[in-house]
Structure 1
Amino acid sequence: MSDALALLKEVFGYFAFRDRQRDIIEHVAGGGDCLVLMPTGGGKSLCYQLPALLRKRAGHGVGIVVSPLIALMQDQVAALSELGVNAAYLNSTLSSAEAAEIERALLRGELDLLYVAPERLLTPRFLGLLERARIGLFAIDEAHCVSQWGHDFRPEYIQLSVLHEQFPDVPRIALTATADAVTRDEIIHRLALDDAQVFVSSFDRPNIRYRIVEKDNARTQLLAFIRAEHGRPDGKGGIEHDAGVVYCLSRRKVEETAEWLASQGINALPYHAGLDAGVRQMNQQRFLREEGIVIVATIAFGMGIDKPDVRFVAHLDLPKSVEGYYQETGRAGRDGLPANAWMAYGLGDVVQQKRMIDDSDADAVHKRVSAAKLDALLGLCETAGCRRERLLSYFGEASHPCGNCDTCLEPPATCDGTREAQMALSCVYRAAQASGVHFGATHLTDILRGQLTERVRQWQHDKLSTFGVGGQFSASQWMGIFRQLVAHGLLEVDHGGHGALLLAPAARAVLKGEVSVTLRQPPPTARRGRSKAAGSARVDHAAEMDSATLARWNALRGWRGDAAREHGVPAYVIFHDATLAELARRAPASLADLQGIPGIGAAKLERYGAALLQTLALA
């Protein structure tokens, strides 16, 4: 491992391994198979990149990396090239001549790492090409894509067991940031990793602050959140905003939200699969290479995006599962600095997700699994305890209250809600019994509050015994109660696609008074916006600097932007913000001093050392 540590410093510019990295690298470099579960931003890439370099130097050949996305390949190869690593990718963006040259380089043994999509790898031609090359290891990134129960299922991943069959002596490392116990077992089975060692790091991302708010004009809530938490004066009389990702369920909502945010002064761009390919690519490149871009997207965006300084991920619609939520929020704060995961959520989201499950073409088993995953997510949304505890427990990890989520910073009040639950459940029962059909939460709320709407009159629901019994609660409070009853499994959303509510079997015991119900109390209206107690997860390097350090910081950022444009790569590929901040604070005056800065390896020292020293001297 002394060779590995030396290579870590020489190539990557770091002085120590993190968490389980040392054990994983030693195991794979020694020829062992393994499955690695490590959170986004935890250093997964190093777990195969460093063993590949060690094995290449030992004469074993190139590391082949199976990657599902073109953007991920390009990002990784650009970053490795900056480090002086001979890396390449094969995908549809290359001309036939370019692809042929990379294949020749592979056969000549000139490559350290080669990234390839699973579709290409599985072709007989490419497998034949690998038979003629020297292979040091196979890395299967985003390995959860093999799971048919997962949110990112890729059919091609199932066939990757061919690597074990055709190259039994080449070590394989499968990596993912998102896998519950069932998905882990499926990865092991489908990739023939039965004898592999499993390394599970903590799923905790302590730098991410989780916050889930009740929907009340979600778009306006989002804008208030961005302005309060992620905007700052730019020094020129304007406001600059942090980079962030906003997830929406539909393409239409993506475009409308991006347009509206832009009209409010946020530099927002849309991204979804239905956009023109050129526009989609341009927006993604702008997000990666420019400062302060907010991308509004469907879940088609994000997997494998390496941008480290995404300061927030927001959801305007409920994700499909805890895995999806964890994967998407994990794109924030990959640099380990404070970041926000913010979501607005309401009963309409539950109805919409239930409808999507019911209307899908999946078989009954898949629908049951999807419904169970959604129920687990509802539990996370409605918990009165620590959200991080609930999130980690889903992945089988015990923890304790984190102090960095909304329910820890402002513990919600709870109460015995049995009486209110009985009112709501009784209303559901009596309205259906009197009319022969079921109704949604809006109409049921009108009944409970004694509202003589046209629909209430039409169905004569003002004659029900539950009419007006809940007049002491507002409409939003009743909607919150209905939402919690769905999350508690006392109500079900109907399978007819209209969002009507039905009594679940568990409701009988509550109505008979045999079981009590605990509910969250809604916060007072004044507390629905940003809470002072919750503080801020904002990162502002400049706020912590004196005038001289700030001058160096700004000069370094300007230089980095110029270097990134010259090299045609995102700014963070040149250096992360954390490296620039350390340079600004220490103000090194020699190449020897630069060697002590994390993130500056041998190749970057040679390539950029003189320019860094000159920039610092002139600042």
Structure 2
Amino acid sequence: MQQIPQDPQEILEHVFGYTEFRGAQAEVIDTLMSDRDALVLMPTGGGKSLCYQIPALARPGCGVVISPLIALMQDQVEALQAAGVKAAFLNSSLPFDQVQNIEGALLRGELDLLYMAPERLLQPRSLDLLSRIQLSLFAIDEAHCVSQWGHDFRADYLQLNCLHEQFPTVPRIALTATADQRTRAEIAQRLDLQAAEHFVSSFDRPNIQYRIAQKDNPRRQLLQFLRAEQQGNAGVVYCLSRAKVESTAEWLRQQGFNALPYHAGLPAQVRAEHQRRFLREEGVIVVATIAFGMGIDKPDVRFVAHLDLPKSVEAYYQETGRAGRDGEASTALLLYGLEDVVKLGQMADSSDGSEEHKRQERARLNAMLGLCEITSCRRQSLLRYFGEELAEPCGNCDTCLEPPQTWDGTQAAAKLLSCVYRTGQRFGAAHVIDVLRGSENEKVRKFGHDRVTTYGIGKDLSANEWRGVVRQLVVRAYIEVEGEFQSLRLTEACRPLLRGEESIQLRKLPPKAKSSRAEGRKSAAPAELLPADEPLWDALRACRKQLADAQGVPPYVVFHDATLRGMVELKPQSREQLLAVSGVGDSKLERFGEAFLAVLRDYETVTSD
């Protein structure tokens, strides 16, 4: 194993294969090198890991990384070992003899980085072990887990302030991708990091295209998206319930996709196997509840699709952030409907939390609905939620690419509100719409609603259009949805509209898209590659897969897609030229260089004949 240099810039180049630091990385590293603490807020894919990995290698001793998930530890340790770093993890997945071997290596000073779950770190045995070695730093990853307002709260994180008490001279760094200003303050307070320097990077992920659409046969919408744009790509499909996860995964398999379910109700072995396949096989789609994904370090996820509404903007941002960690073009598709609004509202109201907690949950849901309903740039609205302003519309979200049309919905809204009132404010949307459209079904006749003045006054709009009106009036708080039967009730806010003192512009529903069976490229080659280079791209991916299988690691641990694309663009023919490709460091050049050079030389020979 090669000798690791001590200078951060040299470590960046020779260990990780990059020539320049990104964003605030250099400042964060300098802070830790100077024995100071840091609180780092950096988007997923922004290079958080290097902020603690490089100073842990440059400083004397072993760096300890507190991470909430076993899968994350394993991913990062495999990637570090492939780069020639002496890294290990301690968690419940290891047999006792392996734990002893790792602890022995730690005591002998043979490790550069050690990953641990907070539960293990806080055990007296672990703290005693750490007190007997030289420590370079503590890194607390996924630090938003400390926040009781957050979506991934972990009680063990609350005790991590003991690190400052027991190891006062060891610098600490807390890192997260999702935290608003209040959550950042809570992280600093609970982890005793009030004196830490704060580094808040832009939340913007310009490579992700955000698309949000109303549900209109969501399975057909998802299938069209996958067939037209994502054939052969890896992705995540999020659903709210376990049952929906299972049925959606089975349906996708029937459509010819390599789809696997993932939720907390599956046996642990099945979850682990599905996660392993997602990481190591090409083109796997995981259909999951939000139990999946936190800390998943797979860089080449090309899409994240939500078939149900996330409960908050923070959750939406974190879940969509699992796409495109490698900086390549990716898509976040969200399909939502009135039933999502109702279900999440009921979940918030029926939670065991305090009234303040319920109010906060409802406020978060309303912010998420606001993001769905806006007619302006999605990215500007998303960033504004996190306190960041984007000067110009992004040009890479659905509202920028195809600006939505609006229509004067004042009269339609008044009709609907009046019908809700005339039917007694105790029926759901479907029944009210039936009355408006003059349905002759048994339920309408049973309650005498074929005799109310609003019966049949809404025949000019389709049932789908009326559902759009209901949904937008709920979002704007003109109507509330209450009770077991999801009854529509009027609010005080609707009075000016009913009196004709106020008008309202509603978003037009997009026309129904035609079903498409378009096939994507079988190898999912980057769009910017020339057609003539696609055979080389496929050959490099095949070489990477073969090496990864032989090593028992995911393909991206060998090289990221961006590094393969660099090989396609530069077509290096020597070790020196290959080392110039971003992402190729000294260790990977030694281990994998000749195999890739053989592919590149063969291609050059064939194309020059």
TM-score band by shorter chain is: over 0.9
1:593 aligns with 2:572: no
1:445 aligns with 2:433: yes
Matches within 5 A, 1:24-173: 24-55=28-59, 59=60, 61-173=61-173
Give the TM-score normalised by the residue count of structure 1.
0.93
Aligned partner of 2:607 in structure 1 is: none
CA contact (8 A) 1:250 1:298 kept: yes
1:318 aligns with 2:318: no
CA contact (8 A) 1:79 1:573 kept: yes
1:257 aligns with 2:248: yes
Which amino acid in the other structure matches residue 346 of structure 2? R
Aligned partner of 2:562 in structure 1 is: 578
Which amino acid in the other structure matches residue 284 of structure 1? Q
1:430 aligns with 2:422: yes
* SS at 1:515 equivalent: coil
Provide, for residues 399-453 of structure 1, a one-character-per-residue CA deviation record: whole Å limited to 9, x for no partner.
1311111111111112332222222222222222xxxx51111111112222222
Aligned partner of 2:27 in structure 1 is: 23
* SS at 1:461 equivalent: coil
Provide, for residues 516-575 of structure 1, a one-character-per-residue CA deviation record: whole Å limited to 9, x for no partner.
3221122233x5878x9xx99x9623872354x444333222221111011110001000
* One of 400, 412, 434 as aligned partner of 1:420: 412
Aligned partner of 1:235 in structure 2 is: none
Aligned partner of 1:8 in structure 2 is: 12
Instruction: Point out the more displaced range, 150-159 or 356-365.
Output: 356-365
Aligned partner of 2:192 in structure 1 is: 192
CA distance in 2, matches of 1:512, 1:195: 56
CA contact (8 A) 1:492 1:501 kept: yes
1:569 aligns with 2:557: no
* One of 444, 451, 470 as aligned partner of 1:463: 451
Which amino acid in the other structure matches residue 537 of structure 2? W
CA contact (8 A) 1:244 1:295 kept: yes
* SS at 2:352 equivalent: coil
* SS at 2:15 equivalent: helix
Aligned partner of 2:260 in structure 1 is: 269
1:403 aligns with 2:403: no
Q: Structure 1: which 5+ residue stretches go unaligned? A: 232-240
Matches within 5 A, 1:326-337: 326-337=317-328
TM-aligned CA deviation for residue 590 of structure 1: 1.5
Pair 390,561 (structure 1): closer, same or farther in 2 beyond 3 Å: same
CA distance in 2, matches of 1:605, 1:250: 45
Which amino acid in the other structure matches residue 330 of structure 2? A
TM-aligned CA deviation for residue 461 of structure 1: 1.5
Aligned partner of 2:506 in structure 1 is: 519
CA contact (8 A) 1:358 1:497 kept: no
Instruction: Point out the more displaced range, 461-470 or 284-293.
Output: 461-470
TM-aligned CA deviation for residue 337 of structure 1: 0.7
Aligned partner of 1:234 in structure 2 is: none
CA contact (8 A) 1:80 1:86 kept: yes
TM-aligned CA deviation for residue 508 of structure 1: 2.2
Pair 599,443 (structure 1): closer, same or farther in 2 beyond 3 Å: same
Among all aligned residue pairs of Structure 1 and Structure 2, give the percentage whose two residues are the same amino acid: 59
Provide, for residues 25-84 of structure 1, a one-character-per-residue CA deviation record: whole Å limited to 9, x for no partner.
1112211111111111111111111111111xxx2x211111000000000000000000
1:382 aligns with 2:373: yes
Which amino acid in the other structure matches residue 23 of structure 2? D
Provide, for residues 199-243 of structure 1, a one-character-per-residue CA deviation record: whole Å limited to 9, x for no partner.
111111111111111111111211111001112xxxxxxxxx211
* SS at 2:119 equivalent: helix
Instruction: Point out the more displaced range, 437-446 or 266-275.
Output: 437-446
CA contact (8 A) 1:337 1:539 kept: no
* SS at 2:229 equivalent: helix
CA distance in 1, matches of 2:97, 2:31: 37
CA distance in 2, matches of 1:201, 1:417: 41
* SS at 2:423 equivalent: helix
Provide, for residues 306-348 of structure 1, a one-character-per-residue CA deviation record: whole Å limited to 9, x for no partner.
1111110001111111111111111111111111101111101
* One of 469, 477, 480 as aligned partner of 1:489: 477
CA contact (8 A) 2:220 2:515 kept: no
TM-aligned CA deviation for residue 2 of structure 1: 10
Q: Structure 2: which 5+ residue stretches go unaligned? A: 604-609
CA distance in 1, matches of 2:222, 2:214: 12
Which amino acid in the other structure matches residue 332 of structure 1? A
* SS at 1:462 equivalent: coil
* SS at 2:19 equivalent: coil
Which amino acid in the other structure matches residue 417 of structure 1? G
* SS at 1:541 equivalent: coil
Matches within 5 A, 1:495-514: 496-514=483-501
Matches within 5 A, 1:193-342: 193-231=193-231, 241-342=232-333
Aligned partner of 1:364 in structure 2 is: 355
CA contact (8 A) 2:6 2:58 kept: no
1:454 aligns with 2:439: no
Which amino acid in the other structure matches residue 502 of structure 2? V
CA distance in 2, matches of 1:504, 1:111: 63
CA distance in 1, matches of 2:288, 2:548: 25
CA distance in 2, matches of 1:318, 1:7: 43
Aligned partner of 1:236 in structure 2 is: none
Which amino acid in the other structure matches residue 568 of structure 1? G
* SS at 1:12 equivalent: coil
Aligned residues: 595
CA distance in 1, matches of 2:222, 2:296: 23
Instruction: Point out the more displaced range, 499-508 or 39-48.
Output: 499-508
